[in-house]
Amino acid sequence: MTTQDEGLDHMDVDAREMYREHILDLFKHPHNFGTLAGCTHRHHAHNPLCGDDITIECVVTDGKVSDVRFNGTACAICMAQHH
């Protein structure tokens, strides 16, 4: 078993394949991807170990997040977690 599969060893083959397909779909078509005109908050992070480079922008209105977007480049797992 490869290192990539170690976290999935409790799943059957079909479940692992479905999980991989879902992650790849979110990587190819991420939700909330883009820039946010008029954002009130912005945070940029870069991980030099893996190369992830992400900026998160949001609009906070009356103490609540009313919109959020992210942009940048990252691995499939990182991109999928922002959906």
Per the domain annotation, does 8 fall within a domain?
no
pLDDT at 1: 45
70 inside domain:
yes
**Is residue 17 a part of any domain in this protein?**
no
Residue at 7: amino acid letter: G
- Judge whether 4 lies within some domain: no
Task: Look up the domain containing 61 and give its range.
Answer: 34-83
CA angle 28-10-26, nearest 5°? 10
Q: What pLDDT is attached to residue 24?
A: 74
- Whether 40 is in a domain gets the answer yes
Tell me whether residue 57 is exposed, middle or buried, using C-beta atoms within 10 angstroms of its C-beta: 0 to 12, 13 to 18, 19 or more: buried
Residue 62 maps to which CATH number? 3.90.1010.10
17-69 pLDDT, tens digit each? 777 777 777 677 777 888 999 999 999 999 888 888 889 999 999 999 999 99
Task: Judge whether 10 lies within some domain.
Answer: no
Structure tokens at 45: 């992070």
In a domain, 52, yes or no: yes
- Number of domains making up the chain: 1
Provide the whole-model pTM.
0.61
Please determine, for residue 5, whether its predicted confidence score (pLDDT) is greater than 70: no
The end-to-end CA distance of the chain, in Å, is: 28
